[in-house]
Chains A and B, each alone.
Chain A
Amino acid sequence: MSTASHPHAGHTHDPADAHHEDHHGPAKGLTRWLFTTNHKDIGTLYLLFALVMLFVGGAMAMVIRLELFQPGLQFVNPDFFNQMTTMHALIMIFGMIMPAFVGFANWMIPLMIGAPDMALPRLNNWSFWILPFASTILVSTLFMPGGGPAGGWTLYPPLSLQAGNSFPFTIFAIHMLGMSSILGSINIIVTIMNMRAPGMTLLKMPLFVWTWLITAYLLIAAMPVLAGGVTMLLTDQFFGTSFFQAAGGGDPVLFQHIFWFFGHPEVYIIILPAFGIVSQIIPTFSRKPLFGYAAMVYATASIGFLSFIVWAHHMFTVGMPLAGEMFFMLSTMLIAIPTAVKVFNWTATMWRGSLTFETPMLFALAFLFLFTIGGFSGLMLAIAPADFQYHDTYFVVAHFHYVLVPGALFGAIAGAYFWLPKWTGHRYDERLGKIHFWLSAISVNVTFFPQHFLGLAGMPRRIPDYATQFADWNMISSIGSFGFGLSQVLFAYIVFKTIRGGAKATAEVWDQPEGLEWTVPSPAPYHTFDEAPVVK
């Protein structure tokens, strides 16, 4: 963001001027939230919804780790265990992390580009309100006869077609969740393309806006492919088609290609907004502009592009022709290059800066270290001959949890601490924030690092019980996960404490941060930038 405007550049925003006679404050009571078209309200809804789902999905993770605490089955039967692993993934991906980042986008993109609201405010309301209904349907499948989906979030047929009566509900919920993301993405793209303040050229946009622009395109391109795939599952199950049934001339492997054609871009849909948040935070607390802004934009774009041509690296064991294995191995390795560039640029941003370590910075730094570890294990997984050993073991579980938890989730938590004062007008409790950080950072490693060892030693993923030689690391991993789960209760407490009160935050909140969002008062008034700021 080296070329972006300095705070107050060309525009001073006096809160006294903020209200024009054609604008109103929020409506009162429940209808405010039901019918709101305000990007800040909708952003808040998304974020609170994501926080709730973090605990729903987290509770499932706790069931999983409780059962895996020791060998033998103590708490749940294998079928329910499979429902837990499946639902944990679906909830965390579609119900928690994606809505969280859409919430950030809603709140921050208009503020960052000097727009009064999102471009399509009514669509925005609808995008959000689909979510609670879809998620309720998804969770309710657990209580239907035959239970919820138990074939893994990847929904591989023929196994996923053995599901009980809940199957169409699962598919319907996935369709709705996908629809919500697509509508949200359309809104974000239109907002970024059409609503920028005068002078806010594309290459002056904060990196968070850039990463979301690319994410939104990935979503629109990838999510409908999943919708197509699950629709075919549905017609195979109920309408006699044979897309994936060998008996009727179909091929179960075809679904895996369709799924991962969506699934790999999805990985970047989840991580790119976190890249964006971290790219806002590290410069702020280094008191130095982001290093290599243009390279960061290009790296993000090339990651987005490459994500569409690597999908079959999830499928090395299905038996591909040698040429296919080579291609997907090499294209996957290529992704390491733009990713490495990003890590180096963040490090260079800190170089010769003037660093302080408030909670958002701590989470961003943990992101930097731990996402890098996840990146390394990702590179290892790309090596096809070694992948024959890693595939579908706890090594993979460790890998993707390193990129998703201390990666994406820490990015979201860092963003929450970073912007909470802007949203609420109160400073969060820095001491509690730091306690939350250290508890999370330690327990997340205790949880997931041993899983590398388990996978290398030969423990497959998605099993409810295991041979006794895996007992010790599993116990440690479970202890870590309970600690991590409890730490997030502290996070929820800190968030609600900040909403209710606390030290007043200034407009800038931090030490001379860059960006338009810091030129409006804290809390950000209900309507901002009714008059577009001028960006030099």
Chain B
Amino acid sequence: MARPGNRGLVLQLGGLAVGMFAFGFLLVPLYDAMCRITGIGGRTNAVAATIATTQEVSERLVTVEFVTVLNEQAPWEFRPTVSSIQVRPGQLYDTAFFARNLTDGMLVGSAVPSVAPGQAAKYFVKTQCFCFTQQNFTAGEGRDMGVQFMVDPALPEFIDRITLSYTFFVNRPATAQLISGPTAGSTT
């Protein structure tokens, strides 16, 4: 009954199964890469970009809208200070979002940016953003948080309006750490 081929084949197939299990996890970075290339998910840069100072400024006007999203239970007040601005691609602009901690304890917030339409995401470049770091708030503290951005002149012609949205989450692990650990100042 000796079937010499069995062991080898079982190992190969077992290896395939293990490999596909690993592939499931490999999909995480692959998907991230796809998102960055294609703008799926409206993802923008998560670390500050540096821009060549000699950018050519385009003549066309693009509307950039700012919106905020909060969970219903989120203990914040959170809104853009201006709801939209007209920008020229190639030029740097500053705006700010206002957030207030509505609780009587310390809170750490993390802002997750998203750009719509997704195709515009890679042309929307942030050089400064409060979303790059976690934001610490003392009880009742409210403040403006700045964003500096530029729309890349290579933005496709058919896009005339871009929305920058922030969802502001409570960073629960960081909040717990902040409360238990030594008091740290606001990171901005």
Contacts and interface: CB of A to CB of B under 8 A. Distances in A.
A113 B31 CA distance: 43
B41 A227 contact: no
A320 B38 CA distance: 9
B144 to A, nearest CB: 22
Interface stretch (B16-24, B84-92, B99-107, B179-187): B16-24
Interface in B113-167: 118-119, 167
Contacts of B38: 321, 323-324
B6 A120 contact: yes
A249 B112 contact: yes
Interface stretch (B7-15, B53-61, B75-83): B7-15
A240 interface: yes
A257 B27 CA distance: 9
Interface string A254-269: 1001100100000000
Contacts of B9: 189-190, 193-194
A334 interface: no
Interface residues of B, number: 35
A253 interface: yes
Size class of A's contact patch? 35 or more
A226 B118 CA distance: 27
A343 interface: no
A321 B34 CA distance: 11
Judged by DSSP, the binding face of A is helix
A200 to B, nearest CB: 15
Nearest to B24: A228
Contacts of B17: 182, 186, 220, 223-224
Interface string A169-207: 000000000000010011001100111000000000000
A258 B13 contact: no
A220 B16 CA distance: 7
Contacts of B13: 185-186, 189-190, 220
A248 B24 CA distance: 20
B20 A224 contact: yes
B28 A243 contact: yes
Interface in A213-253: 220-229, 231-232, 240, 243, 246-249, 251, 253
Give 8 nearest A-B pairs by CB, closest first: A228-B24, A247-B169, A224-B21, A224-B20, A225-B24, A186-B13, A194-B5, A190-B9
Interface of B: 3, 5-6, 9-10, 13-14, 16-25, 27-28, 31, 35, 38-41, 46, 110, 112, 118-119, 167, 169-171, 173
Given A221-B20, A321-B119, 10 more contacts: A119-B6, A120-B6, A224-B18, A229-B24, A232-B25, A247-B112, A247-B167, A251-B35, A321-B40, A324-B38
